[in-house]
Structure 1
Amino acid sequence: MANNPSHDIAVVGAGIIGVACALRLARQGLRVVVIDQQEPGHGASFGNAGHLATEQVFPIADVSILKRLPAMLMDPMGPLRLDWKYLPRALPWFTRLLLNLRPEPFQKTVAGLRALNESSLDAWQRLLSDIQRTDLLKVDGSLLVFEKTESQQAIEALQARLNQQQVPVDYWQAGAIRETAPQLSEQIQGGLFFPRTGHFLDPYRVVCALVEAARSSGVSFLQQQVQGGYVQENGVLLITGSGGVTASRVLLACGAHSAKLTAALTGKQVPLDTERGYHLMLPHEHDRLPFPVTSLERKFIMTPMREGLRLAGTVEFAGLERAANMARAWQLQRLSQGLFRHDLNADGATSWMGFRPSLPDSLPVIDQVCAGKVLLAFGHQHLGLTQAAVTAEMIGQMVSGAAGELPNADAYRLARF
């Protein structure tokens, strides 16, 4: 490794979190390079639901997952799917997930998620204002609806739990829902409205806007695969298909692909798995909904975007290597039937699958280790888009030496594993 590293910080990962962090660090006066084998924004950041989900302060699963395990294995189209062939590899992760649902770790998870989510909307508004692209985000709220009378109790219980966590939430009667979203079906009984949420009109365009701002701030981008690396006395050496990249520090923000490189650089094994998520984009549906709507019973979300209506959701545990099952994306169109007065137009629809990086306690890793030479920002599960801006602020504070000011910082340490 050269005596003088070529960069102050090398960011591995050009998704929404990596790019947001790179921009933040560059504007703090650092020489930054971003490395990814794909073009920026072409991983999970490309096809997410676009929902700024500040209301989601509870873990990704609860103890009912035990009852659902047979269905997860048997139903290839179910909302939560575990591939038979992946079961042996997934069991240790699921075991840790269940252990984290005990009262004490559960409360730590909720506190950690809440601390990030409470700051996420304001952080995004600061970031978009800074790059003069506030037009990319609409803060009109979002809605969780239910159709069955027997779901009323579950909705009321959820509202009570959210109130305990001081999450802004209002109960809407069916009449208020029909007045605001008149194209929804009359069989909808009511729902919960979340006023402090928003949605992005095009998640990929958000990444592109951040990349443009980052380039203007001096960030360089390399489209290469990082195959390994070493922490040395004067910095970090990353091995790519085209040679080596040297930097004083490295930030690992490569989502579901972060575990292997974390082990190589730090010697720590991280229990990171991937939830495969799907979407179906309907290009002829532009005026159906004013804001994102989620179905309690059908377990998927519909988000209005510039290019149409995006149906997103489902969780599939099948690892990083198995081919996508796009029938799961088209299942979302079938799930939408009956939610509207007139069924959605699926002509010209496009399907997509991406990898959500998830840790068994539902919290990300946001930390610095190896004497500050290795920074970590991954494992945000369904909330990568939501928490990207606040994560960038936290990483910026770590690098500037203000880490002691971070909210609930211990909850995101690598050492918890």
Structure 2
Amino acid sequence: MQVPSSSASDAGTDADIAIIGAGVVGVACALMLSRQGWRVLVLDREAPGMGASWGNAGHMATEQVFPIADASILKRLPGMLMDPMGPLRLDWRYFPKALPWLSRLLWNLRKNPWQNTVAGIRALNQASLSAWQELLASIGHSHLLKKEGSLLVHERSDTRHDLDVLRARMLEQQVSVERWQGDAIRHTAPQLSERIKGGLFFPETAHVVNPWQVVNAMVDAARHNGVQFTTSEVLTGQVDDQGVCLQTSESGQIRARKVLVACGAHSAPLTTALAGIRVPLDTERGYHLMLPGEQHRLPIAVTSLERRFIMTPMDEGLRLAGTVEFAGLKQPPNMQRAWQLHRLSQGLFKTDLDASSATVWMGFRPSLPDSLPIIDSVKNGKVLLAFGHHHLGLTQAAVTAEIITHLATYGDSPAASSLPDLQPYKASRFS
């Protein structure tokens, strides 16, 4: 094990490991590392759990084992550029900058890279739910996770074939999936309309009742273990013989033996500064619409095949989410995309959803062109990387934390049998 003695670790450093990013991935890593004896400092320009971790759909999407795009994206490209309200949107002003990333995405749609991506996503997803159950149980917050499955529903007769094809593909990838008729779906979710002809039920999925509470429950447990949380932006950093030196906006210079970059869509510049690695990281801008008057409309998460969005029941209401927009980190949000989610919901229920007092949100999902995250240890173990989970950040956070804890503690020695093969997630795949 690489955990130092307390006297050695305290000498000349502010922490054994400085974690950049207080989202769900960074906080889960902080908690697990602290349990192994590491002295951990978490730095973020925002309070823990904000950003994409605050606004995600809350769906533990273990069934989603396929990349974010397939070959049909070529046919959809004109619509992506022209329709500002489409489910997959590419801002034409951002298109020139996004072109290299999109080219890499298309290159990864070849048979072998695509199969490698599916295998990599599946390996993480298969370990994700049990990792979350164990983590939340260990801090006394199992009630925040509801393992009751989820539904993908369809309305039109002509989309039944698409649904059957998807089911066959999922079964090939060992995804647990059941074909349900409309009556069975309405028995589970009685307020759905008669338009629902059928769908797929995924018994090995779950949802959280409040993503922000999930993060903050882990923060409380981590603080109990001695983890420090500081609101400060890490501007840059460098690796030297003693470890890592970080320059921050509020805390000045921070020294640590190791650093973990886990700041989502903002991770690329720090990865270059600390590790000398350029990664093709972009962002899927996601929107949600929160309906506080609809706490009891659905018992489980429901996704519409035709309308391409998800509805997740939470303690504070019903969250509608799922649109994707490529427009970078600097363009202002187009909140009409969030309100579009309410229009998309019309007709799915026997009575329309109540949008009074609704709130809107936009956040940045960190995305790599092969749809796999980077989970790695570089620079002789001084720099750890955990980002690029695109829309599976919540799903894969707990198992990512297990992997990072292994890498920090044991280095490149073989992972435990409960962990996936780490090769697909290495940063070197982009070199």
TM-score range, shorter chain: over 0.9
What is the CA distance between 1:140 and its match in structure 2? 0.3
Match of 1:365 among 374, 383, 394: 374
Give the Cα–Cα distance (whole angstroms) in 2 for the partners of residues 38 and 320 of structure 1: 16
Q: Which residue in the other structure is 2:303 paired with?
A: 294
Give the Cα–Cα distance (whole angstroms) in 2 for the partners of residues 215 and 286 of structure 1: 31
Match of 1:410 among 398, 423, 426: 423
Q: Secondary structure at the match of 1:328?
A: helix
Residues 275 and 358 in structure 1, CA contact (< 8 A), matched pair in contact too: yes
Give the Cα–Cα distance (whole angstroms) in 1 for the partners of residues 188 and 276 of structure 2: 53
Structure 1 pair 227/117, CA: closer, same or farther in 2 (3 Å)? same
Q: Which residue in the other structure is 2:83 paired with?
A: 75
Counting only pairs closer than 5 Å after superposition, residues 10-409 of structure 1 correspond to structure 2 as: 10-242=18-250, 243-401=252-410, 403=412, 404-405=414-415, 406-409=419-422
Deviations 1:196-238 (A, max 9, x none): 0000000001011010001000000110010000000010000
Deviations 1:50-72 (A, max 9, x none): 00000000000001000000000
Amino acid at match of 2:149: G
What is the CA distance between 1:402 and its match in structure 2? 6.3
Give the Cα–Cα distance (whole angstroms) in 2 for the partners of residues 286 and 338 of structure 1: 19
Give the Cα–Cα distance (whole angstroms) in 2 for the partners of residues 324 and 52 of structure 1: 25
Amino acid at match of 1:254: C
Q: Secondary structure at the match of 2:322?
A: strand
What is the CA distance between 1:5 and its match in structure 2? 1.8
Give the Cα–Cα distance (whole angstroms) in 2 for the partners of residues 32 and 400 of structure 1: 13
Q: Secondary structure at the match of 1:85?
A: coil
Give the Cα–Cα distance (whole angstroms) in 1 for the partners of residues 276 and 97 of structure 2: 20
Give the Cα–Cα distance (whole angstroms) in 1 for the partners of residues 259 and 13 of structure 2: 11
Structure 1 pair 90/337, CA: closer, same or farther in 2 (3 Å)? same
What is the CA distance between 1:303 and its match in structure 2? 0.2
Q: Secondary structure at the match of 2:93?
A: helix
Residues 286 and 307 in structure 1, CA contact (< 8 A), matched pair in contact too: yes
Give the Cα–Cα distance (whole angstroms) in 2 for the partners of residues 337 and 3 of structure 1: 61
Q: Secondary structure at the match of 1:298?
A: coil
What is the CA distance between 1:4 and its match in structure 2? 2.4
Give the Cα–Cα distance (whole angstroms) in 1 for the partners of residues 133 and 361 of structure 2: 28
Q: Secondary structure at the match of 2:323?
A: strand
Residues 377 and 411 in structure 2, CA contact (< 8 A), matched pair in contact too: no
Amino acid at match of 2:388: G
Give the Cα–Cα distance (whole angstroms) in 1 for the partners of residues 65 and 38 of structure 2: 33
What percentage of residue pairs aligned between the two structures are identical?
64
What is the CA distance between 1:108 and its match in structure 2? 0.4
Give the Cα–Cα distance (whole angstroms) in 2 for the partners of residues 200 and 74 of structure 1: 35
Amino acid at match of 1:53: A
- Name structure 2 gaps, 5 residues minimum: 1-9
Count of residue pairs the alignment pairs up? 416
What is the CA distance between 1:268 and its match in structure 2? 1.0
Q: Secondary structure at the match of 1:249?
A: strand
What is the CA distance between 1:3 and its match in structure 2? 6.7
Q: Secondary structure at the match of 2:278?
A: coil
What is the CA distance between 1:408 and its match in structure 2? 2.1
Give the Cα–Cα distance (whole angstroms) in 2 for the partners of residues 87 and 53 of structure 1: 29
Amino acid at match of 1:23: L
Residues 168 and 194 in structure 1, CA contact (< 8 A), matched pair in contact too: yes
Residues 15 and 257 in structure 2, CA contact (< 8 A), matched pair in contact too: yes
Give the Cα–Cα distance (whole angstroms) in 2 for the partners of residues 372 and 113 of structure 1: 24
Amino acid at match of 1:158: L
Larger mean CA deviation between 261-270 and 402-411 belongs to 402-411
Give the Cα–Cα distance (whole angstroms) in 2 for the partners of residues 237 and 164 of structure 1: 47
Residues 13 and 257 in structure 2, CA contact (< 8 A), matched pair in contact too: yes
- Name structure 1 gaps, 5 residues minimum: none
Q: TM-score, normalised by structure 2?
A: 0.96
Amino acid at match of 1:333: H
What is the CA distance between 1:288 and its match in structure 2? 1.1
Give the Cα–Cα distance (whole angstroms) in 1 for the partners of residues 420 and 25 of structure 2: 18
Structure 1 pair 161/12, CA: closer, same or farther in 2 (3 Å)? same
Q: Secondary structure at the match of 2:380?
A: coil
Amino acid at match of 1:397: H
Residues 3 and 234 in structure 1, CA contact (< 8 A), matched pair in contact too: no
Residues 200 and 305 in structure 1, CA contact (< 8 A), matched pair in contact too: yes
Residues 57 and 114 in structure 1, CA contact (< 8 A), matched pair in contact too: yes
Give the Cα–Cα distance (whole angstroms) in 1 for the partners of residues 86 and 127 of structure 2: 33
